[in-house]
Structure 1
């Protein structure tokens, strides 16, 4: 085959490969369009159903409330009517009784007159008439003194309801907040979100999460921050995250953001079990210095070298005991048994009094003292790998890490020199006195 033919063949192969890549990219975009259309259609259906359900519930509740109010007012009318008619009925009975008596007296009088001059019947009639007291009449109340019921109905209620109903509810094409980033951390995921509606004044955010296979979300965070580290997640497991917001002066929450799937491939940080002088939580991420051991219990190390450069290691002090200058929180190369503190070679740490130690030497810079509620952070990045030759290190590669330790609102930054490269580190702590309790993540 000639050179020209080979060139054409190669060009044809490249064109075929480019066409395949092009088709693959187009298919991915078609899938993306399908997902987008599915989201629009699905969210529209859910929104319609939510609107119908909400207004049906309002209509049912309003009908019930109006019915209950009508029943109360009708009961009031019945009670007033009964109380007002009762004395009128009594007066009517008294008058009807008087009419009956008068009729009887008339009959007796007419009969006595028809009998002529018989003194006994006329005398008896006259005596009976005097006993009845024909000049005594029961008093009938005037109409102005009798209740005349009426209903006082405020027509402005309909105006108020119409005004409120006309402004009740709203439809938005996008939620006011969206998840911006999901960053995997050891046994956790750092969730960052942002506000996408500039006109929405946020009072609080609310973050929820659930396993992809689960049906129920659970609250992870409610507050003003726009990021949160969700702890206690199983590695290599998909989780769904969503966030919403509550506006200034409002009680209801906004619609949820589009759920985002996140996961972590990093094993959670754990303390080493079986270390004398320390009690661990069930997840082994919390250690408490017990009072049932000698005062010098030594260093409690991590269960494995799970800290990698580029990550942030955080110690959260959940309870504090009495300080001692030998206390330490930090990271190290290897986990040598028998050590009383991390204030040694191949380790960097901070003491509970705020002193910082690098390879066992105390720095001049000092951080705030550690107390209950304090958070101490360690961040490291590789600076360089370069050859050195001196009395302490043989010719070879010296490893330099840029270390940042933060405590309170202050931090110290320094270079940590090691005689060999490391890609992962142990973390550890030591407390002389009991009462200290620390969470690591």
Structure 2
């Protein structure tokens, strides 16, 4: 009986725990639904504001342009009217002067005729002389109506058709942005952001990636180009960052709406060079090393063994100097101060001329020589652990892939003991070399 009761209690406890987990999952889904609903409502409200503001600005601009054009045309009418009336005014003055002269002559003539006597005809003689001096047969020419301007306005009604067709198709509303962030991958001191287009009809020409510390400050442009992934560097560990991306369609000037912002963080310790090495100057974040003109030489190592199997380590050559056959960049099991090159045992490296060295031995395959902007990547994965030939322990084999300028070298690196993390390093004999590690 007690066993049966205990079994029932255990079953009840399991059911209670299952119900608790079920409730928790349902609550998480309710939270997800709430966030989805909130995103729809917030984006709809923002879209309404953008549309209303845009069309308000558009109407204001159109009204201003139409008013300015109307004023310009009215000024043109005023100028033509003034210029055309001027000769008519002069002709009118001339005619009015002639009318006044004729009126005066009529009055003098009538007075002279009425005042004529048998012997006193002086007034008549004076009038006759006066009339002879006035050219009564000379009349000013008045232009005919077809010879003077007749103003009119030529207004093309097709403008309304064109404007109407443009307005009815102006602007679109999309339920989703044409591009979205696909993946955020943490890197030491950085985050790899990958994105893709989700609108099959959208043909992207360029992408634009922005980021910011979560909910602080403004978004900053960090990449503009045609690639669909980018490593954002200078990321502080264990801090949330927001990322968003948009695109510009082929042949267009405006950018698309932003993607839904995604939050990412890196928990990996940033790669740093060792400080205090006389031959190299470091950046503030200690991920860039510059070979200075100091006489001190040797290998500059990482601050700690921060590279692990399964990760990708990248060296980017920011500037070049004169080459030396011992110059190299690479990965090693341990720091060995006093050495002048990584071309030694327990290390794999690439020299500046592209030669690949494994445990100090040069391989037949070779990579391109370093130039400014060259990126050299190291990828490693554990292959197998087996007995060694000398019966003193096991062999630890790593599959190493080194890539540079679309070429790669793949080989197995055999170590006499298991190693979980590695140092990286560089050695340059001449000043001017500058290398970024991430």
1:61 paired residue number: 61
Distance 2:408 2:288 in 1: 24
**TM-align CA RMSD:** 1.5
Task: Please report the TM-score for the alignment, with normalisation by the length of structure 2.
Answer: 0.96
Q: How many residues align structurally?
A: 436
Written as runs of structure 1 = structure 2, the 5 A alignment for 1:18-167 is: 18-117=18-117, 118-167=120-169
Distance 2:301 2:125 in 1: 129
The SS at the match of 1:425 is strand
Could you tell me whether the CA contact under 8 Å between 2:291 and 2:433 is conserved in 1?
yes
2:304 paired residue number: 304
The SS at the match of 2:73 is helix
Unaligned runs of 5+ in 1: none
**What is the CA-CA distance between 1:280 and the residue it aligns to?**
2.1
Could you tell me whether the CA contact under 8 Å between 2:116 and 2:123 is conserved in 1?
no
Farther-moved stretch of structure 1 (373-382 vs 269-278):
269-278
**What is the CA-CA distance between 1:389 and the residue it aligns to?**
5.3
Could you tell me whether the CA contact under 8 Å between 2:184 and 2:194 is conserved in 1?
yes
1:430 paired residue number: 427
Written as runs of structure 1 = structure 2, the 5 A alignment for 1:3-402 is: 3-117=3-117, 118-290=120-292, 292-294=293-295, 297-388=297-388, 390=390, 395-402=392-399
Distance 1:283 1:107 in 2: 111
Unaligned runs of 5+ in 2: none
**What is the CA-CA distance between 1:282 and the residue it aligns to?**
2.6
Farther-moved stretch of structure 1 (9-18 vs 277-286):
277-286
Distance 2:131 2:335 in 1: 127
Distance 1:231 1:332 in 2: 24
The SS at the match of 1:326 is coil
**What is the CA-CA distance between 1:387 and the residue it aligns to?**
4.2
**What is the CA-CA distance between 1:267 and the residue it aligns to?**
2.5
CA displacement, residues 379-408 of structure 1 (integer Å, 9 cap, x when unaligned): 111223444351xxx733443222111111
The SS at the match of 1:103 is helix
Distance 1:112 1:272 in 2: 128
Distance 1:263 1:129 in 2: 111
Distance 1:110 1:282 in 2: 114
**What is the CA-CA distance between 1:435 and the residue it aligns to?**
2.1
The SS at the match of 1:18 is helix
Farther-moved stretch of structure 1 (28-37 vs 296-305):
296-305
Distance 1:232 1:66 in 2: 51
Task: Please report the TM-score for the alignment, with normalisation by the length of structure 1.
Answer: 0.95
**What is the CA-CA distance between 1:322 and the residue it aligns to?**
2.1
CA displacement, residues 337-363 of structure 1 (integer Å, 9 cap, x when unaligned): 111011112211000111111111112
Distance 2:235 2:291 in 1: 26
